[in-house]
Amino acid sequence: METAAEVVPPRTHYVNAKYGVKSWLLTTDHKRIALLYLASVTFFFFVGGFFAVLIRLELLTPQGDLVQAETYNRLFTMHGVVMIFFFLIPAIPAVLGNFLVPLMVGAKDLAFPRINLLSWYIYTLGATFTVIAILLGGVDTGWTFYTPYSSTYSNGNVILTGLGVFIVGFSSILTGLNFIVTIHTMRAPGLTWFRLPLFIWSHYATSLIMILGTPVIAVTILLLALERLAHIGIFDPALGGDPVLFQHLFWFYSHPAVYIMVLPAMGVISELVANMTRKNIFGYKFVAFASIAIAVFGFLVWGHHMFVSTQSVYAGMVFSILSYAVAIPSAVKVFNWTATLYKGSISYNTPMLYAFGFIGFFIIGGMTGLFLAALGVDIHVHDTYFVVAHFHYIMVGGTIMGYLGGLHYWWPKISGRMYPEGWARFAALVIFVGFNLTFFPQFLLGYMGMPRRYYAYPEEFQVLNVMSSAGASILGIGYLIPMIYLIWSMRYGPHASANPWGAFGLEWRTSSPPPTQNFEKTPVVTWEAYEFHPREEREALGVMDVLDRTLRPDLNVGDRG
């Protein structure tokens, strides 16, 4: 039963503005396109997860019993390709970013709505090629496509997969282009750069990497595919080519791509920490510029993937020092989030639980990144499970925690409904436990010398591998729970008010879900970012009961008994 205050009169918003398949597939509304992306990346998350399940099952025992080497090579390659190019890179920018960037800057849409739709179609086209490649038996080169194996010897569907990755890159470029132009030219009156939410700053930095880095991977994969096709080329050492050139070109994109994955998550965490502690973020400008610094430095560190690839030792030293330099802006962010908590009015609700998870995992993932950036240590742990654990702490522990935290936080805005808080907290806990159990043992395995990408291993590694596989099954259940209750809440969840969190930011100053044109009237911004004045603000927003709701999230669903 809903109380009178909760009854929302039927009104037109972006979801019910039009009906029919055509109104979705031909929409230029950034919010609908975000939902198209949401469906697509969720699908690929479970495809990638399926391969992960098979990998962990095989590694349950030291021998190869479920699959043999060749199949195993295909499994981890497809896991990497699908997860990185079709889930992690588009997840936050194309779903949350697409939905929120225009709302947060007070615009009616992104600058180029049709290009936005085009980017989804390009994504779908690239995805189709990759799915066909998977169905034809996949590819076995590892997601890095290293030459000359990929160009000459591999018998997998390298060209088809490469084509998929090549195409999907353009969707990423177009998204980045759209964000940059929107943030530059379409901010609401009064919304100066330093009044922007930090989510926007981090998406701006991400977009810079997208438009500068992605073309390089495109041309690299083009060269690789042509070389494989014509059996001639510049990466083939037999013809005087240099396979290390491929690694340079590949990592010139793929290292910054790590920041494409984690920077948007950092933007989400900044929003969560500020709004759930009801304080301005400590050192706003430092956090904002840290995003830009990470994007810039991120382009100068690719060589730390190649310490053992005949790169000159002097180049190695420079890349090592620059990699350490990236730790500075990253640490600035972590310290400032932590400092924001101090004397904050912290709500321990689901989004904040994910934010805490992110901060912890990011510290572990980031610190182990420094181990790998050290020339000497890297030679010991290069290509071991230590590397696998490190980047999963950043990508799964960082990006996916940020993505899920953001999805919960903005779910009332996206769907107009509240998710069940109790289940959500339970799922967050399951994910936290499952994640640590999966990936922490891998640090130990790697340090003891277990190489990555092997389907069999010596028996002394079995205990830790069983722990990891057990953790993975817990993690998998943890990911299924939100999937189920979020879909459930779209129909049965209690209606959300315009601003259920009492949060700051323009996206909360329009109804949930927003109308197609986002705002009834273009907002005029006269306040600073996260300018919390508890009492006055609540009065101004007319949400006097908000603080109680935030402190007692169970009240949000309490009306339903």
Least separation in angstroms between CB 505 and other proteins:
20
**What distance in Å separates the CA atoms of residue 298 and residue 259, rounded to the nearest whole number?**
7
Judged by beta carbon, residue 108 or residue 538, the one nearer other proteins is 108
Q: Give yes or no for residue 223 binding other proteins (CB under 8 A).
A: yes
Report 197-216 residues binding other proteins (CB under 8 A): 211-216
Among 17, 57, 60, 226, binds other proteins (CB under 8 A): 226
521 binding other proteins? (CB under 8 A): no
Contact present, 179 and 162 (Cβ < 8 Å): no
- 507 lines the binding site for other proteins (CB under 8 A): no
- Binding segment for other proteins (CB under 8 A), chosen from 103-111, 198-206, 463-471, 524-532, is 103-111
Of the ranges 41-49, 107-115, 154-162, 527-535, which one interacts with other proteins (CB under 8 A)? 107-115
Q: Where are the beta strands (DSSP E) in 220-318?
A: none
Angle of the 462-492 helix axis to the 421-448 helix axis, nearest 10: 160
Residue 277 near residue 341 (C-beta atoms within 8 A) = yes
234 binds other proteins (CB under 8 A): yes
50 sits near other proteins (criterion: CB under 8 A): no
Per CB under 8 A, the list member of 233, 243, 471, 502 interacting with other proteins is: 233
The rounded distance, in Å, linking the Cα atoms of 527 and 509 is: 13
Distance CA 221, CA 233 (A): 13
Q: Is 292 in the site for other proteins (CB under 8 A)?
A: no
CA-closest candidate to residue 294, choices 261, 249, 246: 261
Question: Dihedral through CA 147, CA 148, CA 153, CA 154, nearest 10?
Answer: 0
Sole binder of other proteins in the list 24, 43, 50, 112 (CB under 8 A)? 112
| Interface characters, 245-284, with other proteins (x: CB under 8 A) | x---x-----------------------------------
Q: Which amino acid is at 170?
A: F
Q: Which is nearer to other proteins, 277 or 510 (CB)?
A: 510
Among 5, 21, 135, 238, binds other proteins (CB under 8 A): 238
What secondary structure letter does DSSP report for 559? T
Q: Whole-number minimum distance, CB 32 to other proteins, in Å? A: 14
Decide if residue 109 touches other proteins (CB under 8 A). yes
* Token pair for 212: 């500068």
Phi/psi at 200 (nearest 5 deg)? -70, -40
Size of the site for other proteins (CB under 8 A): 42
Q: What share of the chain is helix, strand, coil (3-state, %, to 5)?
A: 70, 0, 30
What minimum distance in Å lies between the beta carbon of 339 and other proteins?
35
151 touches other proteins by CB under 8 A = no
* Tokens encoding 462: 């079995």
Helix (H, G, I), strand (E, B) or coil at 384: strand
Quick one: how far is CA 75 from the chain centroid?
Answer: 22
CA distance 158 to 31: 35
- Site for other proteins (CB under 8 A): which residue of 220, 270, 469, 550? 220
Binding to other proteins by residue 21, rule CB under 8 A? no
- Quote the least distance from Cβ 218 to other proteins, whole Å: 6
At how many degrees (to 10) do helices 313-341 and 243-277 cross? 10
Question: How far from 330 is each of 90, 289, 291, 295, CA to CA, in Å?
Answer: 21, 11, 8, 11
220 vs 330, beta carbon nearer other proteins: 220
The yes or no reply on residue 488 touching other proteins (CB under 8 A) is no
User: Is 59 or 101 the residue whose CB approaches other proteins more closely?
Assistant: 101
Answer yes or no whether residue 430 interacts with other proteins by CB under 8 A: no
Which residues contribute to the site for other proteins (CB under 8 A)?
107-113, 173, 177-178, 180-182, 184-186, 211-216, 218-220, 222-223, 226, 230-234, 238-242, 245, 249, 517, 522
